[in-house]
Chains A and B, each alone.
Chain A
Amino acid sequence: MTIRPEERLAAAVARLILDPAAPAARHAAVGNASAIPAAACLLVRALGHPLRVSLLTRPRGNAFTEGSRELFDLAGQGRVDLFFLGGGQIDGQANLNLLGTGAWPGVETRFPGSFGSAFMYFMTPRTILFREEHSPRVLVQRVDMVSAPGVSPPGVFRRGTAQALVTGRCVFRFHPDRARFALESVHPGESVATIRAATGFDFDAAEAVPETPDPTEAELALLRGPVCDEMLETYPEFCARVFGRKHAA
């Protein structure tokens, strides 16, 4: 059975969610640009683990009834355990740039803007960073501007940091104590050398880095079955492209 790259990434994110060393995840919230993280969260639940999954843009049966501020109020109280963020640029200290490049506020390239990142990154016990494009353009030594900082000085209220960065080429683990990424696994066809070549920031790596495991048969069956069913209405383009399933609108 051919494994789609998106399925491999979803399974890799699911393993990070279930990492016993990470803070417990009871409630994960997922934004609209995050189809693969949504699939990962739903996979974790389909595997039998109790996880509340709030898909922010779910068109029907959405859990939020107080408007778009409710997510942030929940996160402010510590009721969201896990969130996903990306960025136009991500640097070696896990700083995120969703603003742009060149002079402020993005004279060279303008990205859409910071959304809730400058708040959510501080408020959840952990964040999984996700960006499919893995290139020196995205993964830079130092972001041009900081939407949300990777670490904060002592005394600044912060519940957590990035746990990991998952890309189309590899999984990096983040170490907030030294504000550096370490290469955890490489997807098939990649090596430490190819990752170094595609990454603008310096990172730690053992001499031999394992390959990101394939999703199991059981995981693939769940992704293509109940997980797809549940995300079909919220992420129709993704489900059509990856699972070949059409949502009857």
Chain B
Amino acid sequence: MTPIPLEAMAASVPDGAMLALPPDYSLPPCALARALVRRGARNLRVLGVPITGYVTDLLVGAGCVAEVESSAVTLGEAGFAPRFTAAVRAGQIRMRDATCPAIHTALQAAEKGVPFMPLRGVIGSDILAHRPDWKVAPNPFAAAGEEDPILLVPAIRPDIAAFHAVMADAHGNVWVGRRREVATIAHAAHRTLVTVEHVVPGNMLEDERLAPGCISATYVEAVAVAARGTWPSGLLDEHAADAAHLAEYARLAKTEEGFRQYLDRHVLTAPAQAAE
């Protein structure tokens, strides 16, 4: 396995692709998102698994996104996602609201290669009323004479799963620890692009303790090295989120002008990004 440059990874994401992303508290591909902004990606369809934050707000603000499907878009402690919120209110992006387990279930259907899966709850929510792709059907296994409507969600097969991992090995396996939602995305997607802190020699699948936290190279199309690739989010137990930076982002991104300053400072020309 030979890592590719981060900018080459960003260039391999075609305009219009459906890009599945883990939440900010998981292993978000923040360095890749900044590279996508630099490459001027357009019309991406972002899928938050099951929610998303900084990455999506950045991509939306930079004009890279046509559609967002997620159960929430938020900067957490730093508040609402300002560019996302402004874009929804202005009708600049299509918002497909979901609820967390519906997104997990749709991806699990794709993992299994089945067209849909059922999910409890949701009936009576206005989310359902705005999702013509979701159906309610009678439970075919209900006892005779018993009414049991149940939600069916179609499988989601994202074009690209993108996330960060702590390390890749010489065989292209990547280690994500307990953040198994990124494994679900990798299993469900056509292509999986992974940024990593570093590359280690050998084969992690031969290590009984590392193997359960790995995603096998079977699923991984390309790896790029991006140190602190989740910044300003944290990285597992290695470092915490950069709360001061997220607060600065939240403040600047309140306005279009402030957001442009943020891009100039931290995404387009910043020395911190030189290694990317």
Interface residues of A (CB under 8 A from B): 32, 57, 59-60, 62, 64-70, 72-73, 76, 98-100, 104-108, 110-123, 145-149, 152-158, 237, 249
Chain A nearest Cβ from B35, distance in angstroms: 25
> Is A119 in contact with B122, judged by CB distance below 8 angstroms?
yes
Whether B72 and A114, one on each chain, are in contact in the complex, defined by CB atoms closer than 8 angstroms, is yes
Whether the pair A68, B99 counts as a contact (CB closer than 8 A) is no
Given contacts A67-B180, A72-B104, A76-B101, contact A104 B72 (CB under 8 A): no
A–B Cβ pairs within 8 angstroms, 27 of them:
A32-B25, A65-B180, A67-B26, A67-B183, A68-B49, A69-B104, A69-B180, A73-B101, A98-B72, A100-B88, A104-B126, A105-B95, A107-B88, A114-B97, A114-B99, A115-B51, A116-B100, A118-B125, A119-B100, A122-B120, A122-B122, A145-B126, A148-B125, A149-B125, A156-B123, A157-B121, A157-B150
Q: Mark B78-93, 1 if CB is under 8 A from A, else 0.
A: 0011001100110100
Q: Are A147 and B25 in contact (CB under 8 A)?
A: no
CB distance from B209 to the nearest CB of A (A): 14
Cα-based distance from A59 to B71 in the complex (angstroms): 22
- The answer to whether A107 and B51 touch across the interface, beta carbons within 8 angstroms, is no
Whether A59 pairs with B121 at a CB distance below 8 angstroms is no
Beyond contacts A114-B71, A148-B125, A149-B124: 12 other A-B pairs, Cβ-Cβ < 8 A, are A32-B76, A67-B181, A68-B181, A113-B73, A114-B127, A115-B72, A116-B101, A123-B121, A148-B124, A155-B147, A156-B123, A158-B121
Contact in complex: A68, B88 (CB < 8 Å): no
Which chain A residue shows the least CB distance to B103?
Answer: A69
What residues of B have a CB within 8 angstroms of the CB of A147 in the complex? 99, 125-127
Known: A114-B97, A116-B101. A155 touches B148 (CB 8 A): yes
Residue pair A237, B104 in contact (C-beta under 8 Å):
no
Taking a contact as CB atoms under 8 Å apart, the answer to whether A118 and B99 are in contact is yes
B102 contacts chain A at the CB level, 8 A cutoff: yes
- Cβ contact within 8 Å between B120 and A118: no
Residues of chain B having any CB pair with chain A under 8 Å: 23, 25-26, 49-51, 70-74, 76-77, 80-81, 84-85, 88-89, 91, 95, 97-102, 104, 108, 119-128, 130, 147-150, 178-184, 234, 237, 240
Contact (Cβ within 8 A) A116 B73: no
A103 to chain B, nearest CB (A): 10
Query: Nearest B residue to A99 by beta-carbon distance?
Result: B97
Q: With contacts A146-B124, A146-B125, A155-B148 known, is A113 near B97, CB below 8 A?
A: yes
User: In whole angstroms, how far apart are the Cα atoms of A227 and B250 in the complex?
Assistant: 31
**Complexed CA–CA distance, A3 and B120 (Å):** 42
| Bound-state Cα–Cα, A216 to B104, Å | 43
Contact A115 B97 (CB under 8 A): no
How far apart sit A155 and B89, CA to CA, in the bound complex (Å)? 37
Q: Check B127 against A69 for contact (C-beta < 8 Å).
A: no
The residue in chain A whose Cβ has the minimal distance to the Cβ of B80 is A112
Q: Which 5 A-B pairs have the closest CB atoms?
A: A67-B180, A113-B72, A67-B181, A72-B101, A155-B147
B104 lies within 8 A of A115 (CB): no
Q: Nearest-CB distance from A234 to chain B (Å)?
A: 11
Bound Cα distance from A62 to B128, whole angstroms = 32
In the bound complex, do residue A115 and residue B180 qualify as a contact, i.e. CB atoms below 8 Å apart? Answer: no
Query: Which chain A residues lie closer than 8 Å to B89 at the CB level?
Result: 106-108, 110
Chain B hits for A145, CB < 8 A: 126
B91 to chain A: which residues have CB within 8 Å?
107
Measured between C-beta atoms, what is the minimum distance from A179 to chain B in Å? Answer: 12
User: With a CB–CB cut-off of 8 A, which chain B residues contact A119?
Assistant: 99-102, 119-122
- The complex places the Cα of A91 from the Cα of B101 at a distance, in Å, of 24
Q: Across the interface, do A57 and B25 meet the contact criterion of CB distance under 8 Å?
A: yes
Min Cβ gap B12→A in Å is 26
Q: A157 — nearest CB in chain B belongs to which residue?
A: B120
Which B residues lie within 8 Å of A65 (CB)? 178, 180
Q: Please determine whether B73 and A112 come into contact, CB atoms closer than 8 angstroms.
A: yes
> Chain B: which residue is nearest A122 at the CB level?
B121
